[in-house]
């Protein structure tokens, strides 16, 4: 085996290992996104469903048509005077006529959507067609439907796959959460329901405001402290820095109760002060930026001193502009820590107006069970800003990591 062939096989092996690792790392993200578009029955199946019905292009055309019949092809709906037709194919149409109705929400005696919808079941080629007409004057965002098919009819197939199929005595019970979805309404149903299930606009505002304020304040404090430890000589500098770094070994849980008591005495519980102030100073940020400042040439600062520059001027005119990769790196770490925080916001906040996005995800977990489809949809919305932010800042992030250890 010659050298070129060994080199080629080695590169193939390395790329194969990297590809396998990338697949393993990306799999949880795919599973989260796939589950976010599953129906409740698909999400609770014991056997994993890798390709949910809602991401199969064959169903998108039907969803588009049904949405256009009801109101809008993109987001669907059920407008007054509109008629929606759903086709069902059965193996033996002569086994009996299906039954259908628009279900009412639980514990509701009167439902305009159910009362305004007229349903006709007519024979069609190879089965039946269910015609739903909005005889009222109100427009509805969704149109749920329940259909009972006799089991004697044999195999059946609906042009729009049902969200749930259950056995009920001598019938198969087919359930749709919306038979007039439109393309986007069909594909992103869980996302729309998750957004309206809780005040996520407020959750996002609180998360971004607290994280952004922590990053801005933390950058200012860490930059000044790191420059002092890196470029200003004063007695005990190394000892103080070692003391700072040693505090990183103290578990955060140890400081949880003292910090809570302090905030309670200050009257800051359930306020932005409680979410922001305790995390403005970061030992990790000071350490990271100090290492970055040490990597800058000393000649720059010597020349600045000769020209009469003060330490304050050297920091903001020389060190700060050259430290952008390190600042971005720390900013990303600080933003991730603040944005993903769960335990601390859960402890120091009580009102829904002060909840962060991570605490808000608990809205989909209850005593009666979890709606995994909506939970994964909300989780996808929560993680999307982080992923987009990393793609925009990855160049500075990599540069900051690479240069922070160079002295």
Contact partners, residue 20, CB within 8 Å, separation at least 6: none
Query: End-to-end alpha-carbon separation of the chain, Å?
Result: 43
Question: For residue 250, which phi and psi values (nearest 5 degrees)?
Answer: -80, 120
| pLDDT over 50 (residue 132) | yes
Neighbours of 161 (CB within 10 A): 18
Note the pTM of the prediction, 2 decimals: 0.82
Q: What is the pLDDT of residue 1?
A: 57
Indicate the pLDDT class of residue 400, thresholds 50, 70 and 90: low
Measured between alpha carbons, how far is 108 from 190 in angstroms, rounded to an integer?
Answer: 23
Neighbours of 7 (CB within 10 A): 10
pLDDT tens sequence across 343-383:
999 999 989 899 999 998 887 776 555 778 888 999 999 99
Residue 329 in contact with residue 197, Cβ under 8 Å?
Answer: no
Q: What angle do CA 315, 319, 321 make, to 5 degrees?
A: 110
Fold (CATH) for 200-366: MetI-like fold (1.10.3720)
Return the residue matching tokens 């599973």: 31
Residue 60 in contact with residue 187, Cβ under 8 Å?
Answer: yes
């Amino acid at each position: 085996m010659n050298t070129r062939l060994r080199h080629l096989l080695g590169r193939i092996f390395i790329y194969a290992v990297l590809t396998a690792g990338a697949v393993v790392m990306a799999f949880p993200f795919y599973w989260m996104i796939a589950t976010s578009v599953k129906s409740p029955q698909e999400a609770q199946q014991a056997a994993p469903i890798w390709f949910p019905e809602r991401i199969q292009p064959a169903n998108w055309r039907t969803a588009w048509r049904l949405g256009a019949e009801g109101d809008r092809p993109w987001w669907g709906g059920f407008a007054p005077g509109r008629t929606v037709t759903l086709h069902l194919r059965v193996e033996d149409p002569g086994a009996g006529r299906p039954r259908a109705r628009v279900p009412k929400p639980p514990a509701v005696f009167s439902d305009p959507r159910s009362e305004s919808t007229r349903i006709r079941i007519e024979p069609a080629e190879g089965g039946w067609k269910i015609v739903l007409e909005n005889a009222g004057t109100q427009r509805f965002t969704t149109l749920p439907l329940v259909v009972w098919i006799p089991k004697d009819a044999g195999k059946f197939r609906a042009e729009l796959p049902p969200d749930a199929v259950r056995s009920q005595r001598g019938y198969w019970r087919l359930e749709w959460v919306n038979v007039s979805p439109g393309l986007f309404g069909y594909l992103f149903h869980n996302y729309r329901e998750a957004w309206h299930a809780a005040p996520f606009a407020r959750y996002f505002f609180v998360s971004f405001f607290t994280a952004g304020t922590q990053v801005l304040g933390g950058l200012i404090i860490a930059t000044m402290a790191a420059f002092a430890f890196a470029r200003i000589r004063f007695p005990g500098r190394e000892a103080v820095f070692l003391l700072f770094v040693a505090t990183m070994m103290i578990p955060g849980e140890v400081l949880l109760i003292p910090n809570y008591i302090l905030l309670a005495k200050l009257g800051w519980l359930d306020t932005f002060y409680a979410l922001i102030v305790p995390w403005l100073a970061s030992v990790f940020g000071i350490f990271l930026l100090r290492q970055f400042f040490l990597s800058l040439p000393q000649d720059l600062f010597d020349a600045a001193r000769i020209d009469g520059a003060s330490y304050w001027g050297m920091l903001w005119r020389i060190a700060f502009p050259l430290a952008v990769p390190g600042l971005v790196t720390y900013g990303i770490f600080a933003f991730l820590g603040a944005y993903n925080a769960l335990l601390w916001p859960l402890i120091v906040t009580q009102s829904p107006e002060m909840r962060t996005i991570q605490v808000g995800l608990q809205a989909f977990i209850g005593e009666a069970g979890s709606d995994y489809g909506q939970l994964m949809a909300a989780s996808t919305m929560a993680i999307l800003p982080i992923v987009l932010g990393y793609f925009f800042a990855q160049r500075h992030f990599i540069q900051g990591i690479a240069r922070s250890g160079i002295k």
